[in-house]
């Protein structure tokens, strides 16, 4: 009986060790000062082959769209909405709607008006959904901080 329990335990450990944690999207951040009063914050998603993330502009009951929220600050104010390039678009039968998404890489941009002197940090949170042709991962939320 003892040998059987040891065998089962070893099998379970082997199974857990072979399980992979999927993380097909890596985020990076940068900023560029346009002048002393304005800057652009860049939020880049690098997406593994076969995977995609969704546009910010998805209506209703579709998949988890990409969303950005910026923490309030005395150092800057947002200037407009976060912009994105034109997404790939197709009709998705599962959601019964046209959906925009990005593959390989996408850079989102947020313009800010700077209210203070010196180096500042733009902080916030992003949320996104990731899918491939066979599965969708649970939505992720990531905190970010970008030096400007």
Contacts of 94 (CB under 8 A, 6+ apart): none
**Nearest by Cα to 95 from 123, 125, 122, 55:** 55
Whether 4 is in a domain gets the answer: no
Whether 6 is in a domain gets the answer: no
The range of the structural domain enclosing residue 112 comes to 22-147
Q: Considering the entire predicted model, what is its pTM? A: 0.84
Please give the pLDDT value at position 13.
39
Mean pLDDT value of segment 90-106: 92
Confidence of residue 9 (pLDDT cuts 50, 70, 90): very low
Mean pLDDT value of segment 115-124: 95
β-sheet with 97-102: strand ranges across: 88-92, 97-102, 52-54, 130-131
**Total residue length of the chain:** 148
Number of domains composing the chain: 1
Instruction: Calculate Rg over the CA atoms of the chain.
Output: 21
């Amino acid at each position: 009986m003892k040998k059987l329990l040891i065998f089962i335990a070893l099998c379970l450990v082997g199974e857990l060790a072979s399980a992979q944690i999927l993380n097909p999207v890596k985020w990076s951040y940068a900023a560029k000062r346009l002048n002393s009063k304005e800057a652009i914050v860049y939020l880049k998603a690098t997406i593994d082959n076969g995977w995609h993330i969704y546009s910010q502009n998805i209506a209703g009951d579709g998949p988890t769209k990409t969303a950005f929220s910026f923490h309030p600050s005395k150092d800057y104010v947002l200037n407009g909405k976060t912009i994105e390039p034109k997404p790939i678009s197709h009709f998705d039968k599962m959601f019964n709607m046209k959906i925009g998404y990005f593959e390989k890489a996408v850079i989102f941009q947020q313009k800010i008006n700077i209210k203070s002197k010196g180096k500042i940090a733009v902080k916030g949170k992003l949320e996104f959904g990731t899918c491939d042709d066979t599965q969708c991962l649970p939505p992720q939320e990531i905190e970010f901080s970008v030096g400007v």
